[in-house]
Every structure is written in C-alpha cells, then in structure tokens.
Chains A and B, each alone.
Chain A
Amino acid sequence: MEITIKIFRYDPEKDVRGHYETYVVEGDENDRVLDVLELVKGKSDGTLAFRRSCAHGVCGSDAMRINGRNHLACKTLVRDVGANITVEPVLGLKVKKDLIVDMDPFFDNYKKMLPYMINESPLPADGRERLQSPEDRARFDETTKCILCAACTTSCPSYWANGEYYGPAAIVTAHRFIFDSRDEAAGERLQILAETDGVARCHTAYNCTEACPREIKITKAIGEVKMAMITGKLD
C-alpha cells in the first residue's frame, strides 16, 4: 500500500524555523510508523534525524507526535493511524533536529525526584537483601513500568505552559519510590513535590494517562502522591 507521511523537518544549521516535508513510500498496513520513518531515511532522505534504539517499546527513545498525539513510533501501526500520517517532535522540549528534542530539561526534573533507593538503616541480621512482601511490592508496581519516554510530560498542557513544572514522568518516578516500603526518603520527595513547581501544577487534564505507551494510570498516580502529601499515609 502507498503511505503518505508528512514529517516536521528542522536543521539548525540551515533553517530559521521548521517546515514540513511529505514523502510517499510503499509499505504495509502492519508496518510500524518507525518502519515508515526508516524507509524514508533509507530510501528517500538520509538526512532525516530521529531517535530509536530497541524498536520494541522498551527503551522509550522514539516518542513523537503522530497525527497530533504522542506515541512511540515503534508501537504504532500504520493500520491504526491510516495511510496519511503526520509526524512531529513532541511539544514542550526544544527541537534539536527534525524529530529529535533536547531531553536535558526532562531528565533534570527526573533527577530532582531522587530516583534511587534511599535506606540508611542497617542491613538485616543475615546481611542479605531487605525483604518486601508481595502486597508491599504491588503498591507501586504500576509506576515501575515507566520507560522515561517523555510522552506523558510532553502531552501535559501545564508543562507546555511552564517548563519549570516537574511534569508527570518525574512524579511517576517519585511515586515509584515514595510507596516503596524499603525506601526511607518519601518525606524528602514529598517536600520537593510540595514546592511551587510540584504536584500543585497538575490540573488533572488526563493527557498524560492517554499518552502513556505503557498504559500507566499516571493521573491516578499523581492523585495518590497528592493524597500522601495531605494525609501522610504511605500504605
């Protein structure tokens, strides 16, 4: 089948602002949008720049706007979006080239959440791992699925308006550790999220939940963090 793909193009060495270029390629309805981009890059225009790595929805490199909505190109089939496809970089982060955006502000916010286990207590008597019950593990299971693709944060209108907001992905990361019974720094993370650019910036637009390629219920997770802040209960 013939697939028409319109792609946002921007070369910082030549262009003042971005523009769109349209390519027509021969493909299959079961192709992924990433396959179509590879076809364009391989056969039509080798200068096209986009991120990709595992190509199987695990690494989170290829989040982009496909027909106006954030998706992973490697998880989006042509048959689901139609033969006329528009591909653009995600919003809210500066475009470096074509579909590649500057992810530094996103990862800066991620780092602010102390995204690592903090436990200063002595090791158990046997000197081995800190055990956790299946129930305690299940409490934060949902948010361990995050692959940091930024599809949620860059779909958030609060983040578009103000990039200082930590964003849904950072709060999901905080959620993963706040509700982990082995971690001892939930208070520190909640204090960070109580700041002006923390959870108060979330106005429950639900864009993040719809955009998440891992189907994490992000708005619900943010709501749980808000409740933990109000009640102090981490169960």
Chain B
Amino acid sequence: MTTKRTLSIKQRGLTNFEAVMWIFTRLSALAIYGLILVGLIGALIMGARNQMNFADVMRWAFMPNVTHVQSTDLQDLNPWASPFWKLTASALLLVAVAHGVHGLVVIADDYIAGAGARKFIRFLSIVMMISMSGIGLYLIWTS
C-alpha cells in the first residue's frame, strides 16, 4: 500500500517570491498564447479574412492595437478600436513585459551570484518593467 502524503503551500516553500515568480513565468507564457489566440480569432470574426494580409493579421494578433490595421483594406476601424481590444492589448502587454523581464532576471541569476549585484539587476529590471509597461499603456489608450 502506498502512503498518501501532501504538503501545504507554506510547508513546501511556495510562499517564497522566487518560487512564485518561477510558476508565474510558466503560467504567463500560457496566458500569452491564450491572448494571442483571442486576437487572432477576433480579427477573423471582424473580417480580417478578406480585408487583411497574413502579416497584418499576425501583427494584430501579437498586439491588438488599431494602429496595426490602419493601412489595411478595412472599411470600418471602429470595432478594432473598442475598449475590449484596448483591454486585451493592455493585458497582453502587461503579462508579456512581466514574463520577459522576469525571464531576463532568471538569466542574469545564472551568471551573477553576489547578493548585491542580484539586487541591483532586480532594481534595474523593475524600473525597466514599469517604464515599458507605462509607455505601452500610454500608446494603447491614446491611439
């Protein structure tokens, strides 16, 4: 007979920031795939099949911002600039920036062992994450 043993989140150290971020990086990758799929399906529903080329559809799917479809044959751009797409684009931006910046931190940790240097890289990464997210959100909501 096999003994069943289960540990709580606290018992197994999952409250540790490093471990939480490690899981976040994996889940955020899945979220990015999901959001790209939402953009792709949304574009097809809104008429991309006949009025856009493949490159424009992909550009939209990876960042559903109306400026990415302005130069296509679309007649009405209003559905493409709705709050839903701005929210989708914002979610994609925030998740992708956090995922990417944390990925860079993990790579930096592979090469930097000193506690002080690691803190410095983390500080730079947070500054980069906040500024990139801020600029991105500004562009999404003002375009």
Contact = CB atoms under 8 A, between A and B. Distances in A.
Contacts, number: 82
Interface in A178-235: 181, 186-187, 190-196, 198, 200-201, 203, 228-230, 232-235
B16 A194 contact: yes
B106 interface: yes
B113 A232 contact: no
Given A133-B2, A196-B118, A190 B113 contact: no
B53 to A, nearest CB: 37
Interface stretch (B6-14, B59-67, B74-82, B124-132): B6-14
Interface stretch (B18-26, B43-51, B87-95, B133-141): B18-26
A13 interface: no
B94 to A, nearest CB: 22
A163 interface: yes
A173 interface: no
Contacts of B1: 133, 135
B40 to A, nearest CB: 29
Interface majority SS (helix, strand, loop, mixed), chain B: loop
B18 A195 contact: yes
A16 to B, nearest CB: 25
Contacts of B8: 232
B113 A163 contact: yes
Contact of A228 (B3, B12, B109): B12
Interface in B77-127: 106, 109-113, 118
B109 to A, nearest CB: 6
A184 to B, nearest CB: 9
A164 interface: yes
A193 B22 CA distance: 12
Nearest 6 CB-CB pairings of A with B: A191-B13, A194-B13, A187-B11, A194-B19, A234-B5, A164-B113
28 contacts: A133-B3, A136-B3, A161-B110, A162-B111, A162-B112, A165-B110, A181-B3, A181-B5, A187-B12, A190-B13, A191-B13, A191-B16, A193-B13, A194-B12, A194-B19, A195-B13, A198-B18, A200-B18, A201-B110, A203-B110, A228-B7, A228-B12, A230-B14, A230-B23, A232-B9, A233-B5, A234-B5, A235-B4
